[in-house]
Amino acid sequence: MNQIDQMMMTGNLAAAWGARLADIDYVPAFPITPQTEIVETLAKWCSEGSLNARFVTLDSEHSMMTAAGAAAATGARVFTATSSQGLLHAFEVLYTVVGWRVPLVLVNVSRAVASPITLEPDHNDVLAARDTGFVQIHAETCQEVLDSILMAYRIAEDPRVCLPAIVNLDGFILSFTREPVMVPNPEMVKQFLPPFRPAHLGFKASAPHALGTAVSGGATYSYFRHQLHLASINALGVHDVAAIEFERLFGRRYNVVEGYRLEDAEDVLVMTNAYASKGKAAVDKAREEGRKVGLLRLRMIRPWPADAVRHALIGKRAVAVLDQNLSPGQGGILFQEIAACLYHEPLRPRALCSFIGGLGGKNISEGEFLAIFEQTAEAGIRGNGIGPVLLYTEAEHREMEQLQFLAHELKTGR
């Protein structure tokens, strides 16, 4: 029996299960909403003996990531988790551990970045780490969270990669959301995930080692950075092999992108993460009303799945990229990457449209999805892209005006 029966569990619990099934050795931890339950669960399991790992609370996420990388450099299989401000606090260490070529899995539970402060999700946090060299996989469902952690270890530890990996899941709408999850049989997981035995790592007192040594004269630095890039590119192929094996053992197939009703779609909506479920529902609704639309969900963000994106989008009339992130002064982050990889395609879509939605977890209503499909269709007919369109309803605007009015009234007494 390849899996234990289905259980209701949150995304956070699914992440903890992924780590437990991967038989991790070490968890350096630091709490932050909305991921804390992950490390609390792991702490509980370590304490009761159901997880044979060492659990240590560090003084900050910066220290936590340093400990994670250092432990992985000794050959330990390491897991940790953070969000948003915590990820940003660790930022210099993210680049550092990539340069150490230490495989480990970091779960990021996405949470919009301050200021203003919020606890709700968007993707500015995890996308800020795009250039660090971490492999990045973004999950839509709690099942995918668990499965992606197992796949992430397998990809990260492959000698053709040897890079740390981030698995992203949205705060609240996935982290605290319960849905049915199938937990794989630990014995089957062992078949999928062999023990971690890196040839290039392994500090011991008897075999001292220095990592991340200083270089000068850009040629040496360039060599090592090129190797990181090539390793990341290799992860595309390694992912596909791992996905085939995963399907064989567990019956679920993951690709670097997921197409939903794409084959005969005229216009395509591109999304990532948990709100893609809403996007799929919106596609179904639009189809009922006669629009031939589809959805492309990006699962792997780094390395960038250029071929898969091109293959999915060429020949389409119009594409709407719904970024749940914002680069102020430019627009949607994923929009730019998609535009770049389509540039030379003779059959690229006539209109590439940019929408910004869901910032700070703002709901994307059915009405907003309808507006996206309408505006994208018009753009496709005109042959000109639009955007970035900042999704914000009239009702929300009136609410905001009301708040501003109240604030002014309270301040001035008028």
Partner 1 sequence: MLAIRFHGRGGQGAKTASRIVGTAAFLEGFVAQDSPIYGAERRGAPMAAFTRIAKEPIRERGLIAHPDVVVVADASLVGDPAAKVLEGVDATTVLFVNSPMSAEQFSAEVSVVGRLTTLNLTEIALQRLGKRGAISALLGAVAGRLIGLHQVSIHEAVARELAELGLPTSVIEQNQTVAKYCYETVPIVALETRPRRTVPVALHTPTYESPTRGTAGITVGPNSAIRSVGGWRAFRPVLRPDLCNGCWLCFANCPEGAITIKPDGRPAIYYPHCKGCLDCVEVCPTDALTVEQETAATNK
In the region spanning residues 141 to 160, those forming contacts with partner 1, defined by CB under 8 A, are 159-160
Instruction: Say how many residues make up the chain.
Output: 414
Shortest distance (Å) from residue 232 CB to partner 1? 10
C-alpha dihedral (177, 180, 186, 190), degrees to nearest 10: -80
Residue 1 found at the interface with partner 1 (CB under 8 A): no
Residue 74 found at the interface with partner 1 (CB under 8 A): no
Tokens representing 310? 């091109």
Q: Can you tell me which of 1, 49, 50, 207 binds partner 1, judged by CB under 8 A?
A: 207
Residue 311 found at the interface with partner 1 (CB under 8 A): no
Residue 194 found at the interface with partner 1 (CB under 8 A): no
Site string for partner 1, 230-259 (x = CB under 8 A): xx-xx-------------------------
Could you identify the residue written with the tokens 């000794």?
Answer: 74
Q: Which of the stretches 43-51, 219-227, 240-248, 372-380 binds partner 1 when contact is defined by CB under 8 A? A: 219-227
Q: Is 327 in a helix, a strand, or coil?
A: strand
Shortest distance (Å) from residue 255 CB to partner 1? 23
Shortest distance (Å) from residue 197 CB to partner 1? 12
Shortest distance (Å) from residue 218 CB to partner 1? 9
Tell me how many residues contact partner 1 (CB under 8 A): 27
Q: Which of the stretches 16-24, 80-88, 212-220, 384-392 binds partner 1 when contact is defined by CB under 8 A? A: 212-220
Q: Which amino acid is at 81?
A: A
Nearer to partner 1, 212 or 251 (CB): 212
Residue 132 found at the interface with partner 1 (CB under 8 A): no
CB crowding 159-195: b at 16 or more within 10 Å, else e = eebbbbbbbbbbbbbbbbbeeebbbbbeeebeebbee
Sheet with 105-110, edge to edge strand ranges: 79-82, 105-110, 165-170, 135-138, 300-302
Q: What are the residues whose beta carbons fall under 8 Å from the beta carbon of 406, sequence distance 6 or more?
A: none
Shortest distance (Å) from residue 56 CB to partner 1? 24
Nearer to partner 1, 188 or 306 (CB): 306
Could you identify the residue written with the tokens 């003996």?
Answer: 49
Shortest distance (Å) from residue 366 CB to partner 1? 47
Tokens representing 49? 């003996």
Nearer to partner 1, 101 or 278 (CB): 101
Q: Can you tell me which of 216, 343, 394, 410 binds partner 1, judged by CB under 8 A?
A: 216
Residue 211 found at the interface with partner 1 (CB under 8 A): yes
**E-only strand ranges, 223-315:** 257-260, 267-272, 293-298, 300-302
Residue 100 found at the interface with partner 1 (CB under 8 A): yes
Residue 101 found at the interface with partner 1 (CB under 8 A): yes
**Of 28, 322, 15, nearest to 146 (Cα)?**
15
CB crowding 262-286: b at 16 or more within 10 Å, else e = beebbbbbbbbbbbbbbbbebbeeb
Neighbour count for residue 301 (Cβ, 10 Å)? 25
Site string for partner 1, 154-193 (x = CB under 8 A): -----xx-x-------------------------------
Q: Can you tell me which of 34, 99, 164, 358 binds partner 1, judged by CB under 8 A?
A: 99
What span, in angstroms and rounded, lies between the C-alpha atoms of 370 and 82? Answer: 34
C-alpha dihedral (83, 86, 92, 97), degrees to nearest 10: -60
Residue 197 found at the interface with partner 1 (CB under 8 A): no
For residue 328, give the DSSP letter.
T
Residue 198 found at the interface with partner 1 (CB under 8 A): yes
Nearer to partner 1, 232 or 273 (CB): 232
Q: Tell me the backbone φ, ψ of residue 352, rounded to 5 degrees.
A: -115, 115
Site string for partner 1, 386-405 (x = CB under 8 A): --------------------
- Contact set with partner 1 (CB under 8 A): 99-101, 159-160, 162, 198-200, 207-216, 223-224, 226-227, 230-231, 233-234
